[in-house]
Amino acid sequence: MPDPLPVVASIDGDGCALFASDIHLSEHDPLTAEFFLSALAREARGATHVFLLGDLFEAWIGDDQQDAVVPRAEAAFTAVAATAHLFLMRGNRDFLLDAPGSPARGFSDRVGARMLDDPSRIMLFGHPTLLSHGDAWCTDDERYQQFRRQSRDPDWQQAFVRQPVAQRQAIARQLRAQSEREKQDKAAYLMDVNATAILRAAAEQQVDTIIHGHTHRPARHEIDADGRQVVRWVLPDWDGAARRGGFLRVTRQGWTTIDW
């Protein structure tokens, strides 16, 4: 069995960690952007560490992306990073954040954040905790996993971001439309994490807590991983029209979900 990943952050004492994912910021959905960015500004005030675990954006074609929501997001994230340690993670919608070969300065560098690998391991008030967007554990969807492997390849990413902006935008629209069509006929279990993959990750990384998003099925699960009790927190997605979204806040006093 491989050694566990190194710990990238330790939160203890008077620390406060805030977690969110699946925000899907887009200039075509200003209501969700306003809803999330306002909530983030409020809830991050008391946090020492803020983790945004993927799908910050509905689509990301490269760090030179310019639309109405990008400067608002940059300003909001920069404000958080001024008072807390801000960590970002790529999701299945924005896997080109900080892509190699991008013609623009990396997004995480612009906002003062640290980009995390997926998965990453932290210590959270004595709990070894594994963070992930979650899509890598949807192993039953073999077609998606094939695309995921291709789209995370540095050479593929570098070739993609070198294309003209208009061409990248057209490809992104095509991929989004294809994804929506396939969802209509895709079995529900294919869009959820695989239990065996979760148990394997918990055992390999020697963690008792897992936090992820992606599935849009917020919940707290208790599972048994080789005799070890593991708690799995699934973060909610954000939707301004439905007034849906939420954070997981963790302090030494306990674990709290903050929902709207």
Indicate whether 179 belongs to any domain. Answer: yes
Q: How many CB atoms lie within 10 A of CB 209?
A: 20
- What confidence tier does 136 reach under pLDDT thresholds 50, 70, 90? very high
Q: Are 136 and 148 in contact (CB under 8 A)?
A: yes
Residue 182, in any domain of the structure: yes
| CA–CA distance, 51 with 247 (Å, rounded to integer) | 10
Q: Does any domain span residue 121?
A: no
Q: Is the pLDDT of residue 180 over 80?
A: no
Residue with tokens 């050479």, as numbered in its chain: 155
The runs of H, that is alpha helices, within the chain are 30-43, 69-81, 107-111, 142-151, 154-161, 165-185, 195-205
pLDDT score, position 185: 65
pLDDT for 224: 82
Separation between Cα atoms, residue 92 and residue 112, nearest integer Å: 22
Give the mean model confidence (pLDDT) for residues 169-189. Answer: 79
Q: What is the pLDDT of residues 183-202, one digit of tens each?
A: 666 777 777 999 999 999 99
DSSP structure class, residue 25: B
Residue 8 has pLDDT above 80, yes or no: yes
* Mean pLDDT, the chain, integer: 94
Q: 144-148 — which CB contacts under 8 Å span 24+ positions? A: 144/190, 148/92
Tell whether 220 is covered by a domain. Answer: no
Residues 139-162, mean pLDDT to the nearest whole number: 95
* pLDDT score recorded for residue 193: 95
pLDDT at 175 (0 to 100):
83
Residue 207 covered by a domain: no
Angle between helix 154-161 and 165-185 (nearest 10): 120
Task: State pLDDT tens for residues 34-45.
Answer: 999 999 999 999
Mean pLDDT of 90-106: 95
Q: What percentage of the chain carries pLDDT values higher than 90?
A: 87
Residue 67 resides in a domain? yes
Burial class of residue 244, CB neighbours in 10 A (0-12, 13-18, 19+): middle
68-84 pLDDT per residue, tens: 999 999 999 999 999 99
Q: Coil, helix or strand for 9?
A: strand
For residue 178, is pLDDT > 90? Answer: no
| Overall domain count for the chain | 1
Please tell me which of 42-56, 166-180, 221-235 the model is most confident about, judged by mean pLDDT: 42-56
Within a domain: residue 215? no
Would the pLDDT of 105 be above 70?
Answer: yes
Mean pLDDT of 7-17: 98
Nearest to 126 by CA among 234, 49, 209, 52: 209
Residue type, 135: D
Assigned domain for 128 exists: no
Tell me which residue range forms the domain holding 252: 7-116+142-186+234-259
Residue 93, phi-psi category: left (phi > 0), alpha (psi -120 to 50), beta (remainder): alpha
